[in-house]
Amino acid sequence: MAGRKYGLDLGTMNIRIFQGGHGLVVYEKNMIAIQRKKEVAAIGNDAFEMYERTPASIVISNPVRDGVIADINNMNKVAEALLKKCGCTTGFMRNNSFYLAVPSDVTEVEKRAYFDLIAHSAYNTHNIFVVEKPLAAALGENVDVKSKKGMMIVDMGAGTTEITVITMGGIVVSKLLKMGGNTINASICQLVKERHHLVIGDKTAEYLKLELGHAIPGQGRGKTVFGRDVITGLPSKAEVSDHLVFDAMKNYLFQVVRTIRNIMETIPPELSGDIIENGIYFTGGTTLIPELDRLFNASLRVKVVFAPKPLESTVRGLGVIMDHASDYKDLTFSLRDAAFE
Ligand SMILES: Nc1ncnc2c1ncn2[C@@H]1O[C@H](COP(=O)(O)OP(=O)(O)OP(=O)(O)O)[C@@H](O)[C@H]1O
Ligand SMILES: [Mg+2]
């Protein structure tokens, strides 16, 4: 049987798998629910459904934290279950190839965890390639990463924001901020507690962000949410305004703008000139905040290009690399070769 190719983007919040010849076959929450410390109660979207609704005997967690695999045992369990869903079975023929997107600004030990994830399980593994996430994300947006012109891509995810300058298929500079959509949610929880004396869960904060999040303040909208009163400990509710949600987002957005500016100031003028000419590419789920393009355009004074499907750019870029393996050979790094050197 011919070998199969799988591309995996293991995000802090979402896991996506692209299968050669099939397209995007898995798109689920990167979560696991463990019962009584060892039994798997649920994986992926099913675990997310249970999140913040379970008894103390069930613990729900994300195996990827701040963009890197933090809990290899649970990551193994999630990957195994989801790869099984798309027909990647174990056996003797070693003919499957795996393409894993990894953040570029992480340690070798952190990168190694991606190799261990696939190598230590029997997925008929023929080879494992790692691709730096920003390169995959750019390819997923049809950007010619091999061009001699410099380009900048900003991936605003759940746990990380990665700002990268690319030229001729290589990364010139990459800065990984351990901040993203989760930072906004935590800040919403904090402000609701301070201003309304109400303790809300992460899911409620996400709801407020999706309903009221807007990069331009002053829409004057509000939503009623339920939580626990800080003083009495009893269930209570409050009307939360979009001003509060904007306040919860602004520090993070300011930090992203500041980091982009710093990078633009430190790279050679030829590259910054190219970036000004081509525009800055934005992707990742957090770029779905309405009017963010207007805010960035005004504060950076550079054209901004927003991905139409920002949650899928990276995994679709892996698909491009898998389908044109010989064209993009120099963008992939085989960890198997490195391991057996
Ligand atoms: N409409 C929206 N408005 C604002 N934020 C959104 C919207 N839709 C999704 N998000 C946010 O996008 C984030 C998920 O994006 P993405 O899937 O790119 O992250 P990830 O790949 O899991 O994380 P990372 O790349 O940081 O490891 C979540 O924080 C989610 O709240
Ligand atoms: Mg991501």
Instruction: Give domain limits for the chain.
Output: 5-136+314-339, 142-179+253-310, 181-248
Structure tokens at 173: 């500079």
The DSSP secondary structure of 298-340, one letter per residue, reads HHH-S-EEE-SSTTTHHHHHHHHHHHTTTTTGGGEEEHHHHHT
Residue 34: what residue type? Answer: I
Ligand 2 centre to CA of 12 (Å) is 7
- Residue owning the nearest CA to atom 15 of ligand 1: 285
Residue 222: what pLDDT?
Answer: 97
Q: Is 196 in the pocket of ligand 1 (CB under 6 A)?
A: no
Q: Is 140 in the pocket of ligand 1 (CB under 6 A)?
A: no
Please, what sign has the CA dihedral across residues 79, 85, 86, 88?
positive
Residue 218 is assigned to a ligand binding site: no
Please check whether the two domains, 5-136+314-339 and 181-248, share a CATH topology: no
What is the DSSP secondary structure assignment for residue 287, as one 8-state letter?
A: G
Q: Is 319 in the pocket of ligand 1 (CB under 6 A)?
A: no
Cβ-based neighbours of 276, under 8 Å, separated by 6 or more: 302, 303
Residue 109: what pLDDT?
Answer: 86
Domain 181-248 has CATH 3.90.640.10: yes
Q: Is 20 in the pocket of ligand 1 (CB under 6 A)?
A: no
Low-confidence spans in the chain with pLDDT less than 50: 339-341
Nearest atom in ligand 1 to the alpha carbon of residue 13 is: 22
Residue 90: what pLDDT?
Answer: 63
Q: What is the rounded CA–CA span in Å between residue 120 and residue 3?
A: 19
Residue 209: what pLDDT?
Answer: 98
Instruction: Give the closest residue to 208 by CA, choosing from 182, 183, 238, 240.
Output: 240
Residue 124: what pLDDT?
Answer: 81
Residue 93: what pLDDT?
Answer: 66
| Domain 5-136+314-339: CATH superfamily, name plus number | ATPase, nucleotide binding domain (3.30.420.40)
Residue 8: what pLDDT?
Answer: 97
Residue 158 is assigned to a ligand binding site: yes
Contact 14, 28 (CB under 8 A): yes
| CATH architecture for segment(s) 142-179+253-310 | 2-Layer Sandwich (3.30)
Q: Is 286 in the pocket of ligand 1 (CB under 6 A)?
A: yes
Residue 253: its H or E element:
helix 242-266
Residue 263: what pLDDT?
Answer: 98
Residue 159 is assigned to a ligand binding site: yes
